[in-house]
Structure 1
Amino acid sequence: MKTSIIIADDHPLILKGLNDFLIEKKYNVLASAVNGKEAFDLIERHRPEIAILDIQMPFLTGLEIAKKSKELNYETKIILITFEKDEAIYNQAKSLGIYGYVLKEFALEEIEHCIDAVSKDIPYFSQELLSYLEAEEAPIEIESLTPTEIDVLKHISENKTAKEIGELMFISFRTVEKHKSNINRKLNLTPTKYSLLFWAKENKSHLK
C-alpha cells in the first residue's frame, strides 16, 4: 500500500482534481477536507503519513495546521499547495518544518515527485518557487567558502547524503561532516537537520 494521505482545499475543483489524480496513481487517500478545521480533525483522527494542504483555507490555514501539528509532535509530514510566491510565507513554512511546498499551477506535474521525496524524509520545494525567490546577486557569504565546500554544497543540493558525498569526493564520512560544520559556521546558519539542504537549493545557481 502506498503512502497514507489526507488532502484539503477549499476550492472544490482543485480538491477533486487532486483527489482523482492521487487515486488514479494508487495512493492511499484516506479522506479529504474543504476547510482547515476539517483538515486538522482528519490529521488527529487518521494520523496520515502525509497531509497535502492548501495554505489559505477557512477556520485554519495550512500554516496554522502545521504549527498545531508541530506543537503536538504529530509525525504527519505536511505538504503545502498554493499560488503564493511569498518569501515571508516560504520562510515561515521552513521554520514550521513543512516538508513540501508546491505551486498550484504545477501541482499535478510535481506532486508525485514531492510525495516520493517526502516519503523518503527529503523536503521538496517547487523549483519554480525557489527560482522566483532567488536573489539576483549571490549571498556575500559564498565568497568565504573553499572550492571543496562549494562542491559539498552542490552535492547537498542534489539530495546526496554525507556517505554518498564522501564516496563521490573520495573523502571520509567524517571529513564531509567536518566540511558541513564549517559551512554552517561560515554561512551563519543554525545547524538544524535541513539547514544546509534549504540553503543549497535556494542558492544552487550560485554554486558554480
Structure 2
Amino acid sequence: MTIDKKNISIVIADDHPMLLRGLFEQLVENGYSVVGQADNGMKALELILTLKPALVLLDIEMPLLNAFEVFKMAKDKLTETKFVLLSYHKEKEYVLQAKSLKINAYLLKDDSFFTIEQCIHAVMNNEEFFSPYFKDSLLRNTNDKLRQFSQLTGSEITILKRIAQNKSSKTIAEELGVSIRTIDSHRTNIIKKIGLSKETNTLTNWALLNKKAISEL
C-alpha cells in the first residue's frame, strides 16, 4: 500500500544530540513530518501519549526510561503508535526481547536511511521489520524460542523468571511457599518443553543467557 510521507507523524528519541539531529534532518529532508523530539525515555513517553504520533523511532538505552519501559507504559495506555527501536546492540537476546513484546521493528544505528525508509513503509503496512543484519536463521531461532515460551504454564514462567535471576531451587521454594521437590518437578517440565539437555545447570545457564526476554514474559 502506498503511503503519503507527510501524513506519517513521527516522534524521535535519542540521548545523543548529534544522532538525534541527524535523524531529524534526514527525515524532514525526505518529506516526513517529525512532530516531536526527546533526549530521554520519560520525555519520549510524554510526547507519545500527548501527540499520539503514527510512529516513534526510539533509542533502546536512554536516561530515566529505556525503550522497553517506554513501550510497555505506552501500551498500557492503549496507544496505537507503532514502535521502531534503534540500537547498536546486535545480540540475539535484544531481538528476542523485542519480539516477545511484539514491538514492530528493530533497526541498528548503522543501518542506511534507505533501510529506515523500508522499515517505516513496512511498519505502516502493519508488518514487522528487523535490520537486514539479522539473518533469517536468527529470526527463525528467535521465533522458535517464543513458541517454546508459549508452552509454559503460569507457574513455570514464575519459576523460570526466578531461575533467570540465578536463584536456587531452595530459595525459589521458600519464596513461593512450596517444597523443593515441587520446584524441581517444574524445572524438569520446563527443560522438556524448551528442549534442553538434562545436564546440571543447563536450565540455569540457558535462563541467564535469555534473561532479558524471560523478564518480559
TM-score, L = length of structure 1? 0.62
Query: Which structure's CA Rg is the greater one?
Result: 2
Once residues 119 and 135 of structure 1 are traced to their aligned partners in structure 2, the CA distance between those partners, rounded to angstroms, is 23
Aligned residues: 138
Pairing 1:36–2:9 present: no
1:88 aligns with 2:88: no
Secondary structure of the residue that 2:62 maps to in structure 1? coil
Equivalent pairs: percent with the same residue?
A: 39
Describe the SS at the equivalent of 2:133: helix
Determine the structure 2 residue equivalent to 1:55. Answer: 60
Cα deviation, residue 134, structure 1 = 6.2
Match of 2:24 among 11, 19, 23: 19
> Do 1:85 and 1:132's aligned partners in 2 also have CA atoms closer than 8 Å?
no
Map 1:1-208 onto structure 2 (within 5 A). 1-130=6-135, 133=138
Q: Take 1:70 and 1:89, find their aligned partners in 2: how far apart are those partners?
A: 19
> Segments of 4+ in structure 1 off by > 3 A?
130-136
Greater shift in the superposed pair: 85-94 or 48-57? 85-94
**Per the alignment, do residues 107 and 33 of structure 1 end up closer, same or farther by CA in structure 2, a change over 3 Å counting?**
farther
Shift of 1:86: 1.8
Pick closer, same or farther for the CA change 1:51–1:16 going to 2, 3 Å: same
Gaps of 5+ in 1: 140-187, 189-208
The answer to whether the 8 Å contact 1:37/1:60 transfers is yes
CA deviation profile, 1:85-104 (whole Å, cap 9, x unmatched): 12222111112121111000
Does structure 2 conserve the Cα–Cα contact (< 8 Å) formed by 1:70 and 1:96? no
TM-fit CA distance, 1:131: 5.8
The 3-state SS of whatever aligns with 2:103 is coil
Taking structure 2 as the reference length, the TM-score comes to: 0.59
Indicate the larger mover: 88-97 or 19-28.
88-97
Deviation per CA, 1:147-205: give whole Å up to 9, x if none.
Answer: xxxxxxxxxxxxxxxxxxxxxxxxxxxxxxxxxxxxxxxxx9xxxxxxxxxxxxxxxxx
SS in 2 for 1:117: helix
Q: Which has the higher contact order (CA 8 A, sep 6+)?
A: 2
Classify 1:18/1:64 alpha carbon distance in 2 versus 1 (closer, same or farther; 3 Å).
Answer: same
- Other structure's SS at 1:128 match: coil
Classify the secondary structure of the residue corresponding to 1:26. coil
**Alignment-mate amino acid for residue 102 of structure 1:** L
In structure 2, list runs of 5 or more residues that go unmatched.
Answer: 1-5, 145-192, 194-217
